[in-house]
Amino acid sequence: MSKKDVESALARGVEILNEFLPVQTTLYFPILYSACVWAVRRVFDYRERILSWQVWLDPEAVLTKPDEFILHFFATHGALSRAYADEIAGRDLRALRVVFPALYPVCGLEDAFLKALFKKELDAGDYRRIAAEFAARAAKARDDIRPAAADARFWAALENLGAELAALGIHLLSDEDVEKAVIKAVKKKTAKGAKS
Amino acid sequence: MRTRTRTRGLRGLGLLAVSALALVLCSSCLTHLRNAKASYAEAGELAQRYQTEQAIAAYKRALAEAELEARKNPSAQAFMLKGLAEVNLGLWRDAETSFVKAAGLGFGEGEAWASDVSLLGLAISFEELGFEEPSLRAYGQLMGKSEFKPVLLAAAQRYADLTLARAVGLEDREKGPALAGLAKVIEKLESADFACGFYHYFHSQVESHRGDFRRSYEEAVMARELGLPSVKVLRDNDNQIVFCYDKVAGALGAAEREAFAAAHGAWAKRWGWPDARTPDWKRE
């Protein structure tokens, strides 16, 4: 297996996504990255997995919490307690309540779709960016995937890509390398899209 | 002679083909209904095991099969199954249409279900447009009269969340009665169906707003034991358990805290948590 082969497969993957999804979508990364993770685990029911992502965005749990719960959530989450140290120390509930609806589904409920959507920010510990962009990006992702989801060719192409990645031995690469390769492929395409 | 035999043979073959085709078409109709039922049952089992994503996929398969069946061979059963799959996917308007059709074809409860689903859809639209009062009234109405459990649960969840959101902004002297009123409503639902874990989950949420963390903890434990409708609610309930555990333990004296920690430790072990404050799904 060569890293180059995986990179070219991922580049083709971006081209495939480009046929079905809007160019400036934020979905390339979560879809491609998930496809890689699933290829490693050799599961190929992409259609069911991706379609069920959307369900997580619907209200179902009671998300209006008392002040004490919100403070506890921020104070007991390692990374969040550092990112919002001032607000926690000052019991600034007004500020924490504003960002809670975005950060609780991602960091508290560990929603699979949202974690994939904000993976870069999570890895960088940029929680304030997640809070600022949450509503717009989640809504856009949901809208962007809808037309592609209705096209059987999209799912077939994605499954072929997963099978190809598995055959290339993607499981032999480290998670970090896979992530880097996906980011590289997506960046290349979106830069091209922005130019043209 | 040979020609006549061949013609007869061809006619025989034709008849055979027509019969085979009819058999295939008929069995494909049966297959759609059977597949819809199988997928629906599978979805229920998956949901019970908190495999929410796979359950949703199975509901979608059930819906697709029920749609094919309803188109090829409209029947009360096909439309009822279609409506049930739609309800589980939150497609309230589509479900209403399906139940109306099921009622028209002889499904006795179809009309009542259609009316409940329609009122729920209307209440959700009101809520989305910011008309809280009428939506609360409609949810309250459904909680009082609906016998269709998916609607009852959805109405109770939205009623509780909306009432809590309004209570958060109130002064303490107004907040107390508002939360007490909500607790009473939830208790009424609980006494009608005590084994429903979702009601105990609501109750736990309300009690933590009232500052009764011990009661909130007990209700959340009961909710977990009785079962919850999805992994998202289960995770929120687990977070509630950990939060209440911390609050209760923090307020106890050393001896009582030890006893409480031991009791909680037993629950945590039973649920497969690696420690008292880490739900199993946080390990992934």
Mutate which: A37, A54, A62, vs B, most B CBs within 10 A: A62
**Cα distance between residue B83 and residue B92, in whole Å:** 9
Residue B11 has pLDDT above 60, yes or no: no
Chain B: residue whose CA lies nearest to A70: B243
| Collapsed DSSP state (helix, strand, coil) of residue A58 | coil
| Collapsed DSSP state (helix, strand, coil) of residue B278 | strand
B193: DSSP letter? -
Residues A93 and A187 in one domain: no
Chains A–B, number of C-beta pairs less than 8 Å apart: 82
Q: Are A64 and A149 in contact (CB under 8 A)?
A: no
**Cα distance between residue A14 and residue A89, in whole Å:** 44
Token pair 């009082």: residue? B144
**Cα distance between residue B240 and residue A65, in whole Å:** 10
Q: Are A51 and A149 in contact (CB under 8 A)?
A: yes
Q: Which of B161, B205, B232 sits opposite A109 (nearest CB)?
A: B232
Q: Rounded to 10 degrees, what is the CA torsion of B145, B151, B152, B157?
A: -140
Q: What ipTM does this complex have?
A: 0.79
How confident is residue A52, by pLDDT bands cut at 50, 70 and 90? Answer: low
Tell me whether residue A116 is in a domain.
yes
pTM of the model: 0.79
Residue B36 has pLDDT above 50, yes or no: yes
B243 to A68: CB separation less than 8 angstroms, yes or no: yes
Q: Which of B54, B211, B235 sits opposite A48 (nearest CB)?
A: B54
B236 to A62: CB separation less than 8 angstroms, yes or no: yes
Tell how far CA B277 is from the center of its chain: 28
Chain B: residue whose CA lies nearest to A50: B53
Residues A186 and A139 in one domain: yes
**Domains contained in chain A, number:** 2
**Cα distance between residue A175 and residue A33, in whole Å:** 10
Lowest-confidence region among B54-68, B95-109, B217-231:
B54-68
Q: Taking the CA of residue B208 as centre, how many other CA atoms within 13 Å lie in the half-sphere pointing to its CB? A: 32
Mutate which: B51, B53, B281, vs A, most A CBs within 10 A: B53
| Collapsed DSSP state (helix, strand, coil) of residue B1 | coil
Residues A177 and A133 in one domain: yes
A104: DSSP letter? I
Q: Are B167 and B208 in contact (CB under 8 A)?
A: no
* Closest by CA position to B121, among listed B145, B139, B108: B139
Q: Taking the CA of residue A112 as centre, how many other CA atoms within 13 Å lie in the half-sphere pointing to its CB? A: 20
Tell me whether residue A104 is in a domain.
yes
Written as one string, the DSSP assignment of B7-40 is: HHHHHHHHHHHHHHHHHHHHHHHHHHHHHHHHHH
Mean pLDDT of the B42-59 span: 83
Residue B269 has pLDDT above 70, yes or no: yes
| Conformation bin of residue A125: beta by default, left when phi > 0, alpha when psi is -120 to 50 | left
Query: Does A86 contact chain B (CB < 8 Å)?
Result: no
Residue A168 has pLDDT above 90, yes or no: no
Residues A41 and A18 in one domain: yes
Q: Which residues of B touch A66 (CB under 8 A)?
A: 168, 208-209, 211
Residues A140 and A182 in one domain: yes
Residue B213 has pLDDT above 70, yes or no: yes
Burial class (CB in 10 A: 0-12, 13-18, 19+), A17: buried
For residue B246, the distance in angstroms to the closest alpha carbon of chain A comes to: 9
**Cα distance between residue A25 and residue A138, in whole Å:** 11
Chain B: residue whose CA lies nearest to A61: B233
Residues A179 and A116 in one domain: yes
Residues A146 and A50 in one domain: yes
Q: Rounded to 10 degrees, what is the CA torsion of A84, A88, A91, A97?
A: 50
For residue A193, the distance in angstroms to the closest alpha carbon of chain B comes to: 33
B240 to A52: CB separation less than 8 angstroms, yes or no: no
Q: What are the backbone angles phi and psi of residue A84, rounded to the nearest 5°? A: -115, 30
Tell me whether residue A94 is in a domain.
yes
Tell me whether residue A146 is in a domain.
yes
Quote the mean pLDDT of chain B: 88
Element (H, E) at B57: helix B52-72
Chain B contact residues (CB < 8 Å to A): 52-54, 56-57, 60, 90, 157-158, 160-161, 164-165, 168, 201-202, 205, 208-209, 211, 229-230, 232-233, 235-236, 239-240, 242-243, 246-247, 281-282, 284
Quote the mean pLDDT of chain A: 83
Residues A29 and A120 in one domain: yes
For residue B9, the distance in angstroms to the closest alpha carbon of chain A comes to: 42
* pLDDT tens, position by position, B57-80: 788 889 999 999 999 999 999 999
Mean pLDDT of the B254-259 span: 95
Written as one string, the DSSP assignment of B91-157 is: -HHHHHHHHHHHHHTT-TTHHHHHHHHHHHHHHHHHHHTT-HHHHHHHHHHHHHH---HHHHHHHHH
Q: Which residues of B touch A100 (CB under 8 A)?
A: none
* Amino acid, single-letter form, for residue A129: R
Residues A133 and A90 in one domain: no
For residue B11, the distance in angstroms to the closest alpha carbon of chain A comes to: 40
* Amino acid, single-letter form, for residue A29: F
Query: Does A66 contact chain B (CB < 8 Å)?
Result: yes
* pLDDT tens, position by position, A71-99: 999 999 999 999 999 999 999 999 999 99
Mean pLDDT of the A52-56 span: 56
Q: Which two tokens stand for residue A160?
A: 């072929």
**First and final C-alpha spacing in chain B:** 78
Q: What are the backbone angles phi and psi of residue B228, rounded to the nearest 5°? A: -125, 160
User: Where among A108, A142, A177 does a domain terminate?
Assistant: A108
**Cα distance between residue A144 and residue A20, in whole Å:** 9
Query: Does A48 contact chain B (CB < 8 Å)?
Result: yes
Residues A33 and A77 in one domain: no
State the residue range of the domain holding A173. 3-54+112-191
**Cα distance between residue B244 and residue B240, in whole Å:** 6
Residues A16 and A88 in one domain: no
> According to the model, what pLDDT value does residue A196 have?
54
**Cα distance between residue A177 and residue A171, in whole Å:** 11
Mutate which: B239, B245, B248, vs A, most A CBs within 10 A: B239
A52 to B246: CB separation less than 8 angstroms, yes or no: no
User: Where among A108, A123, A139 does a domain terminate?
Assistant: A108
B236 to A68: CB separation less than 8 angstroms, yes or no: no
* Closest by CA position to B110, among listed B62, B144, B148, B59: B148
Lowest-confidence region among B2-6, B121-125, B237-241:
B2-6
Structural domains in chain B? 31-45+52-108 (1.25.40), 112-168 (no CATH)
Tell me whether residue A123 is in a domain.
yes
User: Where among A72, A93, A108 does a domain terminate?
Assistant: A108
Q: Which residues of A touch B161 (CB under 8 A)?
A: 59, 62-64
Mean pLDDT of the B38-66 span: 86
Tell me whether residue A196 is in a domain.
no
B177 versus B3: which is more confidently predicted?
B177
A110 to B281: CB separation less than 8 angstroms, yes or no: yes
A109 to B235: CB separation less than 8 angstroms, yes or no: yes
B157 to A69: CB separation less than 8 angstroms, yes or no: no
Tell me whether residue A91 is in a domain.
yes
Residues A100 and A8 in one domain: no
